[in-house]
């Protein structure tokens, strides 16, 4: 049977992708950030996921404001890097796993989550930047990917609790898939940041680190956090953190925290990053 063995959370700042693409990772500004991802690169080589369920938000590339699904599951064979206005990133085509995706759709919809099924979708920096951070720039990605796009752009976004429960439904679906697969779930986006208005550039490191603590140790309580607290404490775009809750719901309640990293600034954003594995007892 398929098994969720681990998970990653990371910010997906577009400027990080630009720094990688333009060879700036060794510059003084960027070097401390990329040092924080050295652990996950080696961890990914050791854990070798067959499939990554990658939770991200589309930035008006696959979906425009006329149609914005709350949860959209990619069921395609492959996904092209999106052109976000300056040409697609020169990264590999993302290979999907349509069989697992179809199984997830069947299971999760029967568990009363109304997923939008997407059979053609270009993927933007929300998905490709995390892939680059973990796997570097290769001729092809070393695993297949099932993209799960969450609306955190147009009001109303889903609650943290809804995302947490979707993660639980994902876990149930993956656990019932009959093929032996090593599956990881990645939650992306965040942390505190705001891109417009009087609070543009807003960063709340105290909130971010408290969120990281609770995310590991008390996710069920964290899932109850209302939208207004995300907005007040983490800025307008801090609502992206609800996407992390999908990943957390797919993991055991008790997890082995392998790596924690927090860095300010990266562009105008706080960067948070966690690496987790499910408990040894669960793997046995």
Note the pLDDT tens digit of each residue in 191-207.
999 999 999 999 999 99
pLDDT computed for residue 138 by the predictor = 79
What percent of the chain has a predicted confidence (pLDDT) above 90? 94
- Split at pLDDT 50, 70, 90, the class of 279 is confident
Residue 252: pLDDT over 90: yes
Q: What is the mean pLDDT of the chain?
A: 95
Strand 51-56 to strand 182-188: parallel, antiparallel, or no bridges (unpaired)? Answer: parallel
- Rounded to two decimals, the pTM is 0.96
pLDDT over 70 at 284, yes or no: no
Distant-in-sequence, close-in-space partners of 219: CB < 8 Å, separation ≥ 6: 164, 245, 248, 249, 253
Q: Could you tell me how far CA 103 lies from the centroid of its own chain?
A: 20
Contact by Cβ (8 Å): 12, 145: no
Catalytic residues: 125, 193
Given a cut of 60, whether residue 48 has pLDDT beyond it is yes
The confidence score (pLDDT) of residue 245 equals 98
- Considering all CA atoms of the chain, what is the largest pairwise distance in Å, rounded to the nearest integer? 52
Share of the chain above pLDDT 70, in %: 98
User: Which pLDDT band, with edges at 50, 70 and 90, does 280 fall under?
Assistant: low
d(Cα 206, Cα 174) in Å, to the nearest integer? 35
pLDDT tops 80 at residue 208? yes
What pLDDT is stored for residue 219 in this prediction? 98
Using one digit for the tens of pLDDT, what is the confidence trace for 110-160? Answer: 999 999 999 999 999 999 999 999 999 778 999 999 999 999 999 999 999
Count of other CB atoms within 10 angstroms of residue 27? 11
Angle at 10 between CA 58 and CA 59, to 5 degrees: 15
Encoded tokens for 258: 């392998």
Return the CATH number of 3-283, one of 3.40.50.300, 3.40.640.10, 3.90.1520.10, 3.40.830.10: 3.40.830.10
Residue 138, class by beta-carbon neighbours within 10 Å (0-12 exposed, 13-18 middle, 19+ buried)? exposed
SS3 78: strand
Q: What is the pLDDT of residue 65?
A: 87
Number of Cβ within 10 Å of residue 147's Cβ equals: 25
Answer whether 234's CB lies under 8 Å from 208's CB.
Answer: yes
| pLDDT given for residue 282 in this prediction | 43
């Amino acid at each position: 049977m398929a098994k969720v063995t681990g998970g990653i959370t990371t910010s997906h700042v577009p400027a990080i992708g630009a720094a990688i693409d333009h060879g700036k990772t060794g510059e003084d500004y960027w070097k401390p950030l990329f040092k924080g991802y050295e652990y996950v690169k080696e961890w990914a080589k050791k854990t070798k996921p067959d499939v990554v369920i990658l939770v991200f938000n589309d930035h008006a590339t696959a979906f425009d404001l006329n149609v914005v699904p709350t949860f959209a599951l990619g069921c395609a064979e492959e996904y092209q890097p999106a052109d976000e206005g300056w040409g697609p990133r020169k990264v590999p085509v993302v290979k999907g796993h349509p069989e697992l995706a179809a199984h997830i759709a069947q299971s999760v919809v029967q568990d009363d989550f109304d997923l939008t099924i997407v059979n053609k979708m270009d993927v933007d920096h929300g998905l490709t930047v995390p892939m680059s951070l973990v796997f570097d720039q290769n001729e092809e990605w070393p695993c297949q990917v099932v993209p799960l796009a969450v609306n955190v752009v147009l009001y109303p976004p889903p609650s943290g609790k809804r995302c947490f429960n979707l993660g639980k439904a994902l876990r149930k679906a993956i656990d019932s898939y009959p093929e032996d697969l090593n599956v990881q779930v990645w939650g992306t986006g965040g942390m505190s940041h705001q891109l417009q208005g009087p609070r543009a550039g807003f960063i709340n490191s105290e909130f971010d680190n408290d969120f990281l603590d609770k995310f590991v140790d008390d996710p069920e309580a964290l899932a109850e956090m209302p939208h207004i607290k995300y907005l007040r404490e983490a800025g307008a775009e801090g609502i992206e953190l609800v996407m992390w809750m999908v990943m957390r719901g797919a993991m055991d309640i008790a997890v082995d925290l392998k790596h924690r990293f927090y860095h300010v600034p990266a562009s105008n954003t706080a960067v948070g990053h966690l690496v987790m594995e499910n408990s040894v007892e669960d793997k046995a």
